[in-house]
Amino acid sequence: MMQIIIQGMLLSGLYALIAMGFMLIFSIGRTLNLAYGAYIMVGGYIYFWLSQQLGMPKIVGFGGAVAVGALMGLLKHRLIVKPLKGDPVAVEISTLILAVIMQSAMVLAFGDASKILLPLIPGVVTVAGAQVTYNILAATIMSWVIILALYAFVRGTHTGRAMQAVSMDEKGAAISGVDPDRINMITWAISGGLGAAGGVFFASYTQLSPSMWVAPVIISVAIVIVGGIGSIIGTLIVAHIIGFLEITVVAVLAPELRGVFTMVLIIGVLIMRPQGLFGREEH
């Protein structure tokens, strides 16, 4: 029981982090940014390359991954999303193509086989009878630090509030003196960085492989939609629902069924209540 609760908390924190970055973009453009999966995957690989193949300190690897993720977000916005402005279908499809391009780029650079990331921090600790690696503990704590920082940023700073304004009504925000273009760029960059950071943790939690991005992307999209677009609290709650659901299924039923219930939950909620559990009504 304790094992389930602790493991559930840990996995949920990770999911919340990954979903957060996706939420930023989805709440602005309502675009299903499948390339978000690419940030997750590329983040993991950059970290692997810098820290394990080049032997640099882990913090450099992590910083490098976040920087590359942010850069990818920026480029994506500049080169693809902006020229296609106003056409969500085109953006969706171009992000699918981009995701596959990045996936094959990683195969090209690192090969097809999956890789094991060395733990961020080695060691195991026993909490209330449950075995917890320092690695996943560190990942969860860092996820929470990043989430809280993001929350403070969005709520407390001028730029953060402008991001919210643009996500609610771009024209209205522009009239009140916010430059939506600049805000969009900042949002894409932050989203890319968050995705890459989440990717490093996620890869160290499972493993690193070129096709690792599909499941987290579906889960994060689902968390965001089920949680309600633009609601940070909703995202957090649903991340925990899904995290605990997966851990419970693995512990009680069978590990192979892990993803099945998540997908069923997602499909069910999307069909019955497309506006999500905590979101504002969409038109």
Residue 260 in the binding site for another protein (CB under 8 A): yes
Q: Do residues 204 and 139 make contact, with C-beta atoms less than 8 angstroms apart?
A: yes
**Total length of the chain:** 283
Does 274 help bind another protein (rule: CB under 8 A)?
yes
128: left (phi over 0), alpha (psi -120 to 50) or beta: left
Q: Answer yes or no: are the C-beta atoms of 28 and 184 closer than 8 Å.
A: yes
Alpha-carbon gap, residue 127 to 140, rounded angstroms: 15
Tokens of 154: 């969005």
**Residue number, 96 or 277, with CB nearest to another protein:** 96
Helix/strand/coil for 275: coil
8 Å CB contact between 260 and 40: no
Q: Does 263 bind another protein (CB under 8 A)?
A: yes
Residue 198's SS3 state is: helix
Near another protein in 191-210, by CB under 8 A: 210
Q: Work out how close the CB of 241 gets to another protein at its nearest, in angstroms, rounded to a whole number.
A: 16
| Least distance to another protein, CB of residue 155, Å | 26
**Least distance between another protein and beta carbon 31 (Å):** 7
Q: Which amino acid is at 183?
A: I
**Shortest reach from residue 118's CB to another protein, in Å:** 25
Site map (CB under 8 A) of another protein, residues 152-191, x = contact: ----------------------------------------
Q: How far is the CB of 247 from another protein (least distance, A)?
A: 16
Q: Which amino acid is at 236?
A: L
Total binding residues toward another protein, as defined by CB under 8 A: 46
Candidates 92, 164, 165, 185; binder of another protein (CB under 8 A) is 92
* Three-state secondary-structure class, residue 208: strand
- Bridge partner list, 208: 115
Contacting positions for another protein (CB under 8 A): 30-32, 80, 83-84, 87-90, 92-94, 96-101, 103-105, 107-108, 112, 210-211, 214-215, 218, 221-222, 225, 254, 256-260, 263-264, 266-267, 270-271, 274
